[in-house]
């Protein structure tokens, strides 16, 4: 019987790990709680109605349908029993000979759990649809609201955290504000729409160079985003955010700040860092468990003075590397340490604007935006998804419209402003 390789998680790391084993005589089982691979870098575009969920999600089963040694199972991994070499699932157990854990990260509220309800984060399709619902519902509420001061709160959007996701969200929110002019609202004035981007550190995109950061700042300001560096959020409720003594009225607050590793590894009994990531060996294996690997956002791997960032290219490289090490062990060789190849960083800031860093090269504007566009299309899985996303972008670019402005999900409207007409 073939050796059993179990992979938990069908993100960039897990999917690439599975593919890395396509020519091996092993029995690969990929489990995920969703039936699709999600292209997370474009999730903010679903949240802001530019793309549909199915544009950036691809069924895992289809992705691996031709790989005959791979089986996809829809399941929740509840626990890992390293002693018995078995993964406990929602209903059943899955024994393994080799295990690759790639369940990624979720957002963290730094211990402020009540904030979760008022400031949704962005990790899943459901998160993105919830953000979309809140953004467009806020405009509808503003249109109902007769009192200018209360209407202002409905038209104030706060993004917490100015990493790539926060910058992208803030840029898109500013564009939605401009587009609302043409949206058929009767009461809303474009000038009433405010987008605030709050960052605890002293500049936007703190992981980028100072030059790119400055470029991003000027592009954000051109779009009308109010950028507030060194702003520490001290409270969030349904009426707004507090920044120390200052209180900002805002009915829509989006969370793009903390990240914490998937809780699945908490019970492993192996060293974790403060964000909950596994402190893996250089070959990505779990200390003391040479047949168990961790890949993607869940792994803490050193790189230069710091660590490998939690970005898609790193997850892809780690997933492939974990698979390569499994192959080496199967063939009786020693594993190899992982080396991260930094292909650069890219963040987009609204229409035809972005910043890029590739090695010593740092550039912005239209060129960076073009690079961003090509790279994202290239890494999207599936011919249909590529064509759909490109057409969606082209349509939005030409018409200045967003195609998916639907408020979905069950709701009552009782908490929306009172309608007063004579």
Residues that bind a second copy (CB under 8 A): 4, 29, 33-36, 52-54, 57, 59, 61-62, 64-66, 71-76, 89-95, 125-126, 129, 136-137, 140-141, 143-144, 182-186, 384, 387-388, 391, 395, 399, 401, 403-410, 412-422
Q: Write the DSSP string, 257-277.
A: -EEEE-GGGGGG-S-B-TTS-
Beta bridge partners of 343: none
Three-state secondary-structure class, residue 44: helix
Task: Output the smallest distance, CB 401 to a second copy, in A.
Answer: 7
Which one, 79 or 93, has the nearer CB to a second copy? 93
Cα(71)–Cα(200) distance, integer angstroms: 44
222 vs 238 by CB, closer to a second copy: 238
Q: Min. distance of Cβ 59 from a second copy in angstroms?
A: 5
b/e per residue 78-115 (b: at least 16 CB within 10 A)? eebebeebbbebeeeebebbbbbbbbbbbbbbeeeeeb
Distance between alpha carbon 115 and the CA centroid of its chain, in Å?
Answer: 19
d(CA 150, CA 157): 13
293 contacts 278 by C-beta, under 8 angstroms: no
In whole angstroms, how close is the CB of 384 to a second copy at the nearest point?
6
Find the catalytic residue in 143, 145, 168, 175. 168
Q: What's the rounded Cα separation, in Å, for the pair 108 and 362?
A: 31
Within 10 angstroms of residue 201's Cβ, the number of other Cβ atoms is 15
Q: Is 168 among the residues known to form the active site?
A: yes
Q: Hey, how many other C-beta atoms are within 10 angstroms of the C-beta on 305?
A: 5
Q: How far is the CB of 300 from a second copy (least distance, A)?
A: 29
* Residue among 143 and 168 whose Cβ is closer to a second copy: 143
> Nearest approach, Cβ of 291 to a second copy (angstroms)?
17
Nearer CB in complex with a second copy: 113/420: 420
Smallest gap from residue 130 Cβ to a second copy (A) = 11
Q: Please say which residue, 94 or 169, places its beta carbon nearer to a second copy.
A: 94
User: Which secondary-structure segment (H or E) carries 105?
Assistant: strand 105-108
Q: Residue 39 or 208: which CB sits closer to a second copy?
A: 39
Q: How far apart are CA 256 and CA 167, in angstroms?
A: 9
Catalytic residues: 168
């Amino acid at each position: 019987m073939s050796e059993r390789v179990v992979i938990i998680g069908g993100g960039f790391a897990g999917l690439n790990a599975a593919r890395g084993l396509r020519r091996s005589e092993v029995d690969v089982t990929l489990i995920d709680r969703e039936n699709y691979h999600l292209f997370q870098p474009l999730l903010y575009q679903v949240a802001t109605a530019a793309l549909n969920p199915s544009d950036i999600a691809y069924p895992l089963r289809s992705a691996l349908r031709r790989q005959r040694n791979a089986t996809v199972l829809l399941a929740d991994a509840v626990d890992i029993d390293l002693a018995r070499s078995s993964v406990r699932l929602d209903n059943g157990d899955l024994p393994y000979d080799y295990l690759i854990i790639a369940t990624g990260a979720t957002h963290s509220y730094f211990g402020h759990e009540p904030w979760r309800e008022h400031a949704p984060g962005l990790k899943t399709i459901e998160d993105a649809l919830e953000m979309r619902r809140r953004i467009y519902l806020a405009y509808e509420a503003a249109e109902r609201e007769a009192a200018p001061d209360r209407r202002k709160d409905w038209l104030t959007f706060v993004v917490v955290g100015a990493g790539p996701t926060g910058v992208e969200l803030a840029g898109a929110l500013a564009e939605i504000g401009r587009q609302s002019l043409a949206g058929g609202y009767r009461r809303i004035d474009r000038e009433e729409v405010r987008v605030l981007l709050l960052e605890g550190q002293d500049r936007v995109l703190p992981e980028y160079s100072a030059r790119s950061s400055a470029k991003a700042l000027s592009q954000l300001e051109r779009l009308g985003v109010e950028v507030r560096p060194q702003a520490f959020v001290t409270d969030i409720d349904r009426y707004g955010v507090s920044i120390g003594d200052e209180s900002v009225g805002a009915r829509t607050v989006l969370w793009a700040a903390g990240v914490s590793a998937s809780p699945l590894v908490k019970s492993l009994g192996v060293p974790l860092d403060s964000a909950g990531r596994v402190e893996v060996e250089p070959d990505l294996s779990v200390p003391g468990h040479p047949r168990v690997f961790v890949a993607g956002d869940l792994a803490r791997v050193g790189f230069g003075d710091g660590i490998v960032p939690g970005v898609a290219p790193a997850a892809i490289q780690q997933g492939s590397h974990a698979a390569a090490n499994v192959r080496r062990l199967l063939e009786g060789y020693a594993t190899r340490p992982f080396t991260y190849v930094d292909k650069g960083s890219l963040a987009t800031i609204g229409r035809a604007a972005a910043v890029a860093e590739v090695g010593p090269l740092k550039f912005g504007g239209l060129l960076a935006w073009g690079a961003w566009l090509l790279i994202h299309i290239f890494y999207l899985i599936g011919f249909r998804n590529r064509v759909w996303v490109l057409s969606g972008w082209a349509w939005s670019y030409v018409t200045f419209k967003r195609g998916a402005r639907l408020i979905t999900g069950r709701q009552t409207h009782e908490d929306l402003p009172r309608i007063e007409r004579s």
